[in-house]
Structure 1
Amino acid sequence: MSKPTVAVLRPDDNRIDEAVEYLRSRGVSPVADPMLTVCSTGETPTAADYYVFTSRTGVQIAADQDWQPGRATVCAVGQQTASALRVYGHSVDVVPSTFTSAGLVEELAAEVSGATVEIARSAHGSDVLIQGLEAAGADVHETQLYRLERPKSAGRSVSLTIDGQLDGILFTSPRTVGHFFEIATEQDDAAELKRGLEEPVIGAIGAPTARVIRDIGLEINITPDSVDFEQLARLTVQEIRNGASTR
């Protein structure tokens, strides 16, 4: 059996390198096509009683700014975010059992009335956290630490999909999906892209990512029960090989 060819669309930093290395370790021919580049806004978290981080990237940017929580309660959405905070020497007080914004709102709702909450994240976050915490009585402030833009070099995976040369595609965020389809739309290839996506195994991390893909009218083959990239890649490759063995 020949090596499966799988497109990985992670940000153009160490995450794409780690993804490529892992796919190769699974006997896969990876196509690295970063759909995101991180652009810092230069903004810094403001003083608060609670700090909320929603991504490893946000933690890294805050750490580069020498952010310190003082006596504040530190909250993280997801174990990867929490791990990043610990790497920089910060204690993590709250990690919701459901790794979502709604899960954190549920976790904090009973204790934040009258408190100031600082949400330090990307410029593309949903309103779930802000609205939920304000409804619980908190004074909420959001600092947009970074934007996620599309690299000029992105698009190889789109062409390969249209040409029927991919066995699988790994989507890891809603914005990744958006950029992937924007490229096809700009090239007047959206219909061809949808047809090309009927054959590859599609893997998606997280409910928001899966929702965007389904809203476009596509089926998802793999949605792991965690936000771990390696689990996504492993299950997708397994599905590709299972499909090949039954043909």
Structure 2
Amino acid sequence: MTEKKIPVLAIMRPESYREKSEAIARDYGFEPVYAPMIRLEGLKDEGFEPFVRRVIDGTSDYVVFTSANGITFTLDKLTEPDKEAFITALKKTRVIAIGPNTEKELVKIGIEKPFLPGDYSSEGIVEALCSEVKGKTVGLARSAFGAKVLIEGLEQCGATVYETHVYTLSIPEGTVQKELIERTLAGEVDAFAFTSSMMVKGFMKHAEKLGAGETIKETLSGAVVGAIGTPTGNTLKKHGVNADVIPEEFTFEALIKAMKKEL
């Protein structure tokens, strides 16, 4: 009797997620191969202090966090007294979160019931809030790569939106990234978990560097490709790759569970 091969799963999340992601992959019967295609770096722009002041002063009616990272990188920049005042003020503000991970991060700091739009996307937030934001002030803390549709949409609904970029994303360069592309081309990777558009771009950039921009698309068509959220699925499509799996719940575990089922 031949021994059943453990499927190899490519995990490309930032370094800080490595341990947790590999543990989830193993729990679902995958052998993880890890090569980060995104690096997170803290950022502080000129909008940050005014954003914090508006929350503490109570002049922001709404505060939007589009990721758990947005919360972490915001709090990292605050001194202890300001952090306490900021969290206390958030409790009295209407706080909006995209997705369950962002919600969990808010609950962790004592924001009991943040509002989650039914559709975990910028469009979903605009749709959910449009009827109530006219004349209101919205504070938004997110990455430097956030979609413009969120600000433009809320402004069209009559809101005044102030944005601050609290972190940025870059594509790491190194041997592990190169090795993942080589293993992919050799047909050694059975499944790929893409958790953001930037990750897709990073992966494709590394493939192109090896002159395999086209070949990699064919290789991926023979594997199970998973994406968190429609925007990530759309980015894959733009690069000529179809996502086999987009789970209803926007979490890494839900993605891995759905990919296991697909296999």
Normalising by structure 2, we get a TM-score of 0.86
State percent identity of aligned pairs.
33
Matches within 5 A, 1:1-247: 1-13=4-16, 15-43=17-45, 44=48, 45-46=51-52, 47=54, 48-64=60-76, 65=78, 66=83, 67-68=86-87, 70=89, 71-153=92-174, 154-240=177-263
The AA in structure 2 aligned to 1:149 is S
Distance 1:193 1:75, change over 3 A: same
Structure richer in helix, relative to its length: 2
* Whole-angstrom CA distance in 2 between matches of 1:78 and 1:26: 22
Query: How far off its partner does 1:27 sit?
Result: 2.2
Query: How far off its partner does 1:235 sit?
Result: 1.9
Query: How far off its partner does 1:35 sit?
Result: 1.0
The AA in structure 2 aligned to 1:201 is V
**1:134 match: secondary structure:** helix
Contact in 1 for aligned 2:100/2:251 (Cα 8 Å): no
The AA in structure 1 aligned to 2:150 is L
**1:190 match: secondary structure:** coil
- After superposition, give the CA deviation of every residue in 1:24-44 in whole Å (9 maximum; x if it has no partner): 122221101111111011243
The AA in structure 1 aligned to 2:210 is Q
* Whole-angstrom CA distance in 2 between matches of 1:190 and 1:110: 44
* Whole-angstrom CA distance in 2 between matches of 1:161 and 1:232: 20
- After superposition, give the CA deviation of every residue in 1:208-239 in whole Å (9 maximum; x if it has no partner): 00001111222221111111211211221232
**1:114 match: secondary structure:** coil
Query: Which moved further from structure 2: 230-239 or 164-173?
Result: 230-239
Query: Which moved further from structure 2: 68-77 or 136-145?
Result: 68-77
The AA in structure 1 aligned to 2:13 is R
* Whole-angstrom CA distance in 2 between matches of 1:211 and 1:69: 38
Query: How far off its partner does 1:93 sit?
Result: 4.1
Contact in 2 for aligned 1:162/1:193 (Cα 8 Å): yes
The AA in structure 1 aligned to 2:207 is A
The AA in structure 1 aligned to 2:36 is P
* Whole-angstrom CA distance in 2 between matches of 1:158 and 1:196: 10
Contact in 1 for aligned 2:95/2:114 (Cα 8 Å): yes
**1:143 match: secondary structure:** strand
* Whole-angstrom CA distance in 2 between matches of 1:236 and 1:184: 23
Query: How far off its partner does 1:97 sit?
Result: 1.8
* Whole-angstrom CA distance in 2 between matches of 1:148 and 1:168: 24
* Whole-angstrom CA distance in 1 between matches of 2:216 and 2:139: 40
Contact in 1 for aligned 2:70/2:141 (Cα 8 Å): yes
The AA in structure 1 aligned to 2:180 is S
**2:141 match: secondary structure:** strand
* Whole-angstrom CA distance in 1 between matches of 2:88 and 2:199: 31
Q: Displaced runs of 4+ in structure 1, greater than 6 A?
A: none
* Whole-angstrom CA distance in 2 between matches of 1:120 and 1:200: 36
* C-alpha RMSD over aligned residues: 1.5
Query: Which moved further from structure 2: 114-123 or 90-99?
Result: 90-99
- Count of aligned positions: 239
Query: Which moved further from structure 2: 177-186 or 25-34?
Result: 25-34
- After superposition, give the CA deviation of every residue in 1:73-120 in whole Å (9 maximum; x if it has no partner): 211111211110110122444221222211211221122111111111
* Whole-angstrom CA distance in 1 between matches of 2:109 and 2:178: 35
